[in-house]
């Protein structure tokens, strides 16, 4: 959406929803080292926010509860500024102007936590800039550009329920996934994605199970996250989170992505908020967020 501040300057606001891997199966590995995946993904109301304004020169700034973990100033190698520069180059090559902008990132999600924070920010930057610049780009070229920013960026560009295959670029929309009430939980400790994949004992695991129409909870019960066992060895707090969410009544409970964020599904939004408050009391130094899928 667009809003106007009191000075009359136009600001473009774009949500960057958290990406939740409801299931993640590692089904193989390519010759170049990239792992092949099949993953069911949903997006939540919880997320970061991108704000874009006109400026005399490009700038990038960060705020929010996790903003201090990222480098502000010119953005350095931040995915937001990389997305800005790649999109500008693509638009200019087709004769479309791409004026300087001030981009502000409100960082509400933990950094490097398996819920697509950086990828979601990059995707939101692409969507927001296209609206802000009143620009257009061939969808295939945009998808290719997104993939150069990271394997998760194309699915975050969609920001809707989907199944992704390959390294994340083969996307199939899911139209009948019901609204889910979740609590996201993270111990605010880093876990190394390359190390998790290195410790993965089997690279050729079974794909996502077949699904009977409407039987999503059965589907989730039969699926898994193949990265969870090695991640839990590296960071035992993941196991503790799973136990805590289960004690609050969540089912199923699972890690998202390569961690360390886990999610628990609750039967109602009230139950999710009640669990969030209880968990915050028991582990005040950790991240807990009740939310729902979009």
Q: Residues with catalytic annotation? A: 19, 152
Give me the phi and psi of 12, to 5 degrees please: -100, 125
Secondary structure of 59-71 in HEC code, one letter for each residue: EEEEECCCHHHCC
Collect all residues with Cβ–Cβ distance below 8 Å to 244 and sequence separation of at least 6. Answer: 185, 279, 282, 283
The H or E element containing residue 118 is helix 117-132
Instruction: For residue 212, give the DSSP letter.
Output: -
Instruction: For residue 37, give the DSSP letter.
Output: E
Alpha-carbon span 26 to 36, nearest angstrom: 6
- Longest Cα–Cα distance of the chain, Å, equals 58
Tokens 């993939």: give the residue. Answer: 147
CB 115 within 8 A of CB 261: yes
């Amino acid at each position: 959406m667009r809003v106007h501040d009191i000075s009359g300057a136009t600001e473009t606001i774009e949500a960057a929803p958290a990406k939740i891997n409801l299931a993640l199966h590692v089904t193989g590995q390519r010759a170049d080292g990239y792992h092949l995946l099949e993953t069911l993904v949903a997006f939540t109301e919880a997320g970061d926010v991108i704000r874009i304004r006109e400026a005399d020169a490009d700038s990038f700034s960060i705020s929010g509860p996790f903003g201090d973990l990222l480098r502000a100033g010119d953005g350095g190698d931040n995915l937001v500024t990389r997305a800005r520069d790649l999109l500008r180059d693509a638009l200019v090559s087709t004769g479309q102007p791409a004026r300087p902008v001030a981009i502000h990132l409100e960082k509400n999600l933990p950094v490097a936590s398996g819920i697509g924070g950086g990828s979601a920010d990059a995707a939101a930057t692409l969507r927001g800039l296209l609206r802000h610049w009143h620009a257009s780009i061939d969808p295939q070229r945009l998808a290719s550009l997104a993939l150069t920013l990271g394997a998760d960026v194309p699915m975050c560009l969609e920001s809707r329920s989907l199944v992704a295959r390959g390294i994340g670029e083969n996307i199939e929309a899911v139209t009948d996934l019901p609204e889910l009430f979740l609590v996201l939980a993270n111990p605010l400790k880093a876990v190394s994605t390359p190390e998790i994949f290195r410790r993965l004992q089997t690279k050729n695991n079974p794909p996502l199970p077949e699904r009977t129409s409407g039987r999503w909870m059965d589907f989730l019960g039969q699926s898994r996250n193949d990265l969870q066992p090695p991640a839990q060895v590296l960071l035992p707090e993941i196991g503790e989170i799973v136990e805590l969410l289960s004690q609050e009544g969540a089912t199923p409970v699972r890690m998202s992505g390569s961690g360390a964020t886990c999610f628990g599904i609750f039967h109602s939004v009230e139950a999710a908020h009640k669990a969030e408050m209880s968990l915050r009391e028991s582990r005040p130094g950790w991240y807990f967020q009740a939310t729902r899928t979009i």
